[in-house]
Amino acid sequence: MSQLPVPGHRIPARLFSLCRSGLLFGALEIFTLASAPRTVGEWLAQLPAAPTWEAALRAGSLEPLDLNALPQNPALPDPLRRPDGVEVDEPMMWAPRRQELLKLFQYYLTGTLPPAPRTTRLVGSTIGREGGITRHTGVLEFSPRFDAQLHIEVIIPRGPGPFPVLVIPEKHRSWATIAVGRGYLAAIYAAGDSRDDTVSFASLDPGSDWTLLAKRAWAVARCVDFLITRSDVDRSKIALAGEGRHATQALVAAAFDERIAAVIIASSGAGGAIPFRLTGEDRMREGIEGVTRHSHNWLHPRLRFFSGQESRLPIDQNLLVACIAPRACLLSSAFNDPRESVWAVEQTWRSARRVYGIFKQEVALQLHHRNHGSDTRPVDVESFLDWLDGRFERGIGPISSPPVYPTYADWQRLSGERIDPSRFPGASVTAVLGPKARRPLRSRGDWLEQRSGVLGRVGWVFGESPAFGTSPIDPAISESETEALTLRRNRVPPECTRLTIGFGSALHGTLYQPVGATAAQPVPAVIWIPPVPLPLGYFPGTQNSDLTLFDAWIRAGYAVFAFDPIGSGGRIEEVRRFYDRHPHWSILGKTLQDTRDAVDALLQQKNIDRQRIFALGYGNGGLAALHAAAFDDRIAGVVCVQGFAGLRDVGDERVAGENIARCSIIFPLLPRLGAFVGQEAQVPYDLDEVLALIAPRPVTLVRSTRDGIGSTAGVQARIENARSVYALYDRAAALRLFEVNDDLRYSPEVAQETFRALRTLDTP
């Protein structure tokens, strides 16, 4: 099959104004020097082993995609912008746009769904009655051969019909009990993880490329075929629901089948309501890489080509949710669900809501946040039905949750700041380092003379911090065992002690120390800074492995201090009104302050070597670690993993716009940078200057050679610029780069290099 046409032109500069207003959907289309493989051999060498996918490539049944022909767009694709650039702004224009999107989803995600069978019949029907309800069970068979089957059970409540309907997979049978008690007819179908009749569907379309996800969604449509023939069913009030993968199949079924009036999507994870651009191994979450390797038949193998290249994907899951409009949809997510992110769900909601807006039905798409882990409890199911009652005009009404995470537009509105990049001197004027430096650095004095100016420019980007003093340790603040269990950090690594410490602004962190650390034999310490936002906070594992970073460090004699950055783990709701309270500060600035407070806390521990406190960060946590060391010379050294890329467009790489958009517009860590998207040469500083601020303390950068948002040449050029300052202290070797031939994720290989980097850092 040839590749579907996708727009390849660069979006005009005027559309960057959409980003600045917060409408980031499709407004950033950025080409980079990162190159994707083209041939079968190149693809096989690029990605980790996935036998089924590799076999399809070798056999020729799966043609390689040329990702280099696709534009790179870190923002969510715009559901209301057609490939020809025309804006969809009225209901009559949405139907063809929806069909266009569904065609793309069948190509990249689900495979081709066959048409409905000419005949669906019920066989083996039985009827039973108990406690006032009626159970009707049977098997649906489909033409032409009737050898494909789907078991179905219909539970009919007491009273006269017709009834609203809740269609659920067999794994959620307990939901049916609650629904029937609320006056719903429950239809339970056998196409899920607990029982899957779709194994019999092979004969329906022998040459089809449809996936397991598509088969299960198609099975839901066949249930609807049967239900609308029943006189006790209200055809206008058919709803679907599911959790996890079952939520994903409900999402796909609702997107393709307009007979479904409402859908409840709970914790659907990667491939569900979570955009692939906003999840994945680079964020310590499950993404394209894990899903297509471990569940190879769930999504189309063509999707695997976008592992590590998610920003080139022409579609994303926000568009699938948009295809449900204007019908009712509830997106339910849990704050501490390891499979997904409340922040990512909110971005889907914001994007799809624009489609609901052209129908003036924004209220039909709602968020529902659960304040616990991924499990769905009876009280949650009752809440789902409360919402459904409201949509079906049966009482109760909306249960919507307000968004938790602020947007760039929120910051603009609250701060009132309107930054004009043209008023900032260009890089050639402000540059202290490199070939465009204003004057060469010949001595430490030359550098110290300019250092305060660099600090001032960096500090301006981070915003205006409130005044904080040194905080004593507060023994009254601690983490409960319940919270530790929810956040999966109740386990204590072997040969280790675990101590909860109250520090800073009413925060708590956990100090893991090697057994035997004493005041007489203090140990070095590492402050771990994870990427933001993470549902489990500082939890140091990945979704698809048992990798735990702390064990190796502690065995080697290091203490580890970890805390949840604002917006993560136990501090998710703290970020909700951050910019209301601090409109001229920044979320990353708060993380820096918390890191300084963490240093204060460690300095008060007698078992810790005060001269050997290091910062280790991953992703935007690595960016935080570098800046923390730049502002706090008590940090003895830094390991930054996958968090170093250019901010200015200075000719060595064309990725600066994407990098600053990721940490300002897409997620407002440093919102002042958002004004410089499209004018990157005017950014007040670059990361080579941050490295120079840390000099002469050691810094090690660990990065993937497959990093889709940077280049080795760009990183090395910035390192060399900063090394000129290190050379003034005779410490040029203290600045190191370790590269790993792996995807942009915290893989075991990256973890090994990280540990090696830490040991190297701590070696004089």
Per-residue pLDDT tens over the stretch 122-167: 998 899 988 889 999 999 999 888 888 999 999 999 988 899 999 9
The alpha carbon of residue 45 and the mean position of all alpha carbons in its chain are separated, in whole angstroms, by 26
pLDDT band of residue 323 (cuts 50, 70, 90) is: very high
CB of 341 within 8 A of CB of 404?
A: no
pLDDT band of residue 542 (cuts 50, 70, 90) is: very low
CB of 216 within 8 A of CB of 192?
A: yes
For the chain, how many residues are written?
A: 764
Extended beta strands in 44-132, E state = 120-130
Rounded mean pLDDT of the chain? 86
191/177 Cα distance (integer angstroms): 19
Is 90 exceeded by the pLDDT of residue 241? yes
Long-range pairs for 465-471: beta carbons < 8 A, 24 or more residues apart: 465/585, 465/589, 465/593, 466/582, 466/585, 468/505, 468/593, 468/596, 468/597, 470/600, 471/503, 471/504, 471/505, 471/597, 471/600, 471/601
- Residue bearing tokens 């598509």: 214
**pTM strictly above 0.85:** yes
Per-residue pLDDT at 651 = 54
Do 120-275+316-391 and 421-761 show the same overall fold?
yes
Per-residue pLDDT at 749 = 65
241/178 Cα distance (integer angstroms): 13
CB of 527 within 8 A of CB of 533?
A: no
Kind of pairing, strands 507-514 and 496-503?
antiparallel
504/477 Cα distance (integer angstroms): 11
Is 70 exceeded by the pLDDT of residue 497? yes
3-state DSSP assignment of residue 263: strand
Query: Region 25-43: what's the mean pLDDT?
Result: 58
Q: What's the token pair of residue 111? A: 């495979």
249/272 Cα distance (integer angstroms): 8
Least confident of 5-19, 141-155, 185-199: 5-19
283/347 Cα distance (integer angstroms): 16
Query: Which whole-number Å values give the CA distances from 539 to 270, 528, 698, in the listed order?
Result: 19, 10, 26
Per-residue pLDDT at 375 = 79
Query: How crowded is residue 125: how many other Cβ atoms within 10 Å of its Cβ?
Result: 11
3-state DSSP assignment of residue 621: helix
Per-residue pLDDT at 650 = 54
Per-residue pLDDT at 11 = 32
Q: What's the token pair of residue 256? A: 């393709």
Query: How crowded is residue 363: how many other Cβ atoms within 10 Å of its Cβ?
Result: 13
Torsion of CA 247, 249, 253, 254, to 10 degrees: 20
Edge-to-edge strands, sheet with 148-156: 120-130, 133-142, 148-156, 185-189, 163-169, 233-243, 262-266, 328-334, 365-370
CB of 316 within 8 A of CB of 309?
A: no
Per-residue pLDDT tens over the stretch 340-365: 889 999 999 999 999 999 999 999 99
Per-residue pLDDT tens over the stretch 710-749: 677 788 888 999 999 999 999 999 998 888 776 556 666 6
3-state DSSP assignment of residue 67: helix
Listed by start position, the domains of the chain span 13-89, 120-275+316-391, 421-761
Is 90 exceeded by the pLDDT of residue 755? no
CA angle 540–368–282, rounded 5-degree value: 30
pLDDT band of residue 28 (cuts 50, 70, 90) is: very low
The secondary structure of the chain in percent helix, strand, coil, rounded to multiples of 5, reads: 40, 15, 45
Per-residue pLDDT tens over the stretch 560-586: 999 999 999 999 999 999 999 999 999
CB of 686 within 8 A of CB of 717?
A: no
3-state DSSP assignment of residue 524: strand
Q: What's the token pair of residue 753? A: 């290099």
Per-residue pLDDT tens over the stretch 647-688: 886 554 456 677 888 899 999 999 999 999 888 889 999 999
Per-residue pLDDT at 22 = 39
Paired strand residues for 330: 264, 366
Per-residue pLDDT tens over the stretch 399-454: 788 999 999 999 999 999 999 999 988 777 777 888 778 788 889 999 999 999 99
More confident residue, 400 or 29: 400
Per-residue pLDDT at 293 = 84
Closest of 315, 254, 262 to residue 288, by C-alpha: 315
557/581 Cα distance (integer angstroms): 41
pLDDT band of residue 708 (cuts 50, 70, 90) is: low
Longest dimension (CA), the chain: 91
Per-residue pLDDT at 431 = 79
281/290 Cα distance (integer angstroms): 8
Per-residue pLDDT tens over the stretch 608-655: 999 999 999 988 999 999 999 999 999 999 999 888 888 886 554 456
Query: How crowded is residue 127: how many other Cβ atoms within 10 Å of its Cβ?
Result: 11
Query: Which whole-number Å values give the CA distances from 267 to 8, 271, 292, 462, in the listed order?
Result: 34, 11, 19, 34
78/67 Cα distance (integer angstroms): 19
Is 70 exceeded by the pLDDT of residue 709? no
pLDDT band of residue 327 (cuts 50, 70, 90) is: very high
549/339 Cα distance (integer angstroms): 19
- In the 8-state DSSP scheme, what is residue 274? B
Q: For the chain, give the percent of residues with pLDDT over 70.
A: 89
Per-residue pLDDT at 13 = 34
394/160 Cα distance (integer angstroms): 15
DSSP secondary structure, 700-747, as one string: EEEEETT-TT--HHHHHHHHHHHHHHHHHTT-GGGEEEEEESS-SS--
CATH superfamily ID and name for 120-275+316-391: Alpha/Beta hydrolase fold, catalytic domain (3.40.50.1820)
Q: What's the token pair of residue 757? A: 């980097």
Annotation: CATH topology of 421-761: Rossmann fold (3.40.50)
Least confident of 238-242, 291-295, 399-403, 752-756: 752-756
695/725 Cα distance (integer angstroms): 7
Is 60 exceeded by the pLDDT of residue 369? yes
